[in-house]
Structure 1
């Protein structure tokens, strides 16, 4: 059976504090372990009122300490903002405390900053049309120009990196991380460096990506497992997994490609109730897409009061149209289509709801339906 795992942003909902959000994350992780989920990954987001997962290594340690079996990891460490040694030491420490349970998911968010700034200055590409591939909706690609040109985005560079710092090439950083984990890292003058903790750690290394660009290429060429983001960039998920498989070279880690694909889901006993719980999602995505950063996740009645313009709806259409919302049978069926079309070996689901009990129940219902 295809394994199900969870991606958690530690969402802060309206009327709630970050402390409450983090305690909810611990509770959901414990329940996810009971429900039979395979992995519990924490995202990395910064400077947003609605997300408390800004220090994934710290939160991973708390989640791993509160659970006993489920794998816990990052989805993903923004490698452009940290050095390979810092990452290896953090996750080596986690592995030393929780051996054999830690996943190190790597993303190239820092390296993409220049690309996104260029996108903000470039002419908008011709608007593509949505297509259906064997039952899976592939919407038109979203342009990140608005986000890249926002004041918040510009703050990332000044607050997440030292003045004048430049992010190295992503492939080189992955090479360094693998060498430090293996104990084979040598400096330019031949000095053998040892990361402790870190060297020999049993962390499972993953690459996360949203397109067929460098992340997919690096994952394939290094023979590492690859996680593709249908929930963040549904328009490019098929090109991402295709590029990864085309680039794949067998390694000591994997003999064949291994793909996990993410999806936004909301599950409730009925389709109608699930739609009510999911109603604030569009307003929340709008806050991200306007460049303001994720707002505190609103209650359904708050979302219902928002007056939507045509521009607002166009801004979030791809995310709304590809969110899987409904009864356990409805959502499980849509996830099977996603699995079959992408050839996913695992699925990674993320759920945000204003009421924590609704979020827990969503994962419980989905896990039960998936086993049937």
Structure 2
């Protein structure tokens, strides 16, 4: 399925950043937060639209588990860029707590906070139990949880339970997904939708088609608005970009082996540490359509191609890069494409 007949000009759609706050091997969480703050400040200067942080737990290479707290830190270190969650895994939380947290953030940083919601746990079953104290809450209850959360943001004088702060605040809610479930729910609720193309490339076009064909206008959105995720590793030479990309490849290998690690330094040849089966799995998960590795010209060509295929309204970019100076340079190269 192609959407290229209505494709938008690449330089006119917003580009955003998804930050997993990577903890590097030999590094510290404090350094991770310092690096994320530095990246967000540069992203604001370079013209990126929003800066999102993702909720993961029990991951030694990801520091953004207390997502709301880190959003507040990043928003406080910037002045104009939108800051939000990509996303909050709602089944892990009482909707009232999220309403209060994001009501607090919106009250401190008005007009700059996004609330992206996912229905996956963002962790393993044991950690899910530790977070929730019970596994009675399931992803199947996600629609009811979203409705409850939306209720807390409305000004309902007769409600017995109210979110202070939160009630009456206009905080954009996004639904995130890697399958058709959230695509259909976003459409039914008339909400913006963000698809995780960067790790679920094969379902991208079917999910976007489902979202657009079933979209029902709402008081917050009159027509569909779709953002897609892409991995980008950009550098001044193809060789360095490919070398830097081996850090993310090692991260996927460790997850596939059930042994997550901090983000590792690049290696000369990923095939020396991956079996043939793992190499095939890497190729499938880090599909070249949505994991773009190379120089400015390569990135521009492949981002343009993906935008034309998806007719995305916005692209959010994840870059798992070991060295901070290379991570900054990668996003600087991407920013040059917006000029």
| CA displacement at 1:303 relative to structure 2 | 6.5
8 Å contact from structure 2 (residues 271, 279) kept in 1:
no
Question: Does the C-alpha gap of structure 1 residues 223 and 277 become closer, same or farther in structure 2, counting only changes over 3 Å?
Answer: same
| CA displacement at 1:200 relative to structure 2 | 1.7
| CA displacement at 1:192 relative to structure 2 | 3.7
Question: Does the C-alpha gap of structure 1 residues 68 and 166 become closer, same or farther in structure 2, counting only changes over 3 Å?
Answer: same
8 Å contact from structure 2 (residues 264, 322) kept in 1:
yes
State the TM-score, normalized to the length of structure 1: 0.84
In 1, the alpha carbon distance for the partners of 2:157 and 2:188 equals 19
User: Equivalences for 1:1-372 in 2 at 5 Å?
Assistant: 1-110=12-121, 153-163=124-134, 165-167=136-138, 169-184=141-156, 191-213=159-181, 215-293=182-260, 295-301=261-267, 306-322=272-288, 323-371=291-339
| CA displacement at 1:79 relative to structure 2 | 0.4
8 Å contact from structure 1 (residues 102, 202) kept in 2:
no
8 Å contact from structure 1 (residues 4, 347) kept in 2:
yes
Structure 2: stretches of 5+ with no match in the other structure: 1-11
Question: Does the C-alpha gap of structure 1 residues 76 and 272 become closer, same or farther in structure 2, counting only changes over 3 Å?
Answer: same
Question: Does the C-alpha gap of structure 1 residues 273 and 287 become closer, same or farther in structure 2, counting only changes over 3 Å?
Answer: same
SS at match of 1:300: coil
Structure 1: stretches of 5+ with no match in the other structure: 114-151
Question: Does the C-alpha gap of structure 1 residues 331 and 185 become closer, same or farther in structure 2, counting only changes over 3 Å?
Answer: farther
Q: CA RMSD in A?
A: 1.8
| CA displacement at 1:336 relative to structure 2 | 1.3
Task: Choose between structure 1 and 2 for higher RCO, CA contacts under 8 A separated by at least 6 residues.
Answer: 2
| CA displacement at 1:314 relative to structure 2 | 2.0
- Count of matched residue positions in the alignment of Structure 1 and Structure 2: 325
Question: Does the C-alpha gap of structure 1 residues 218 and 307 become closer, same or farther in structure 2, counting only changes over 3 Å?
Answer: same
Runs of 4 or more, structure 1, over 4 Å off, are 302-306
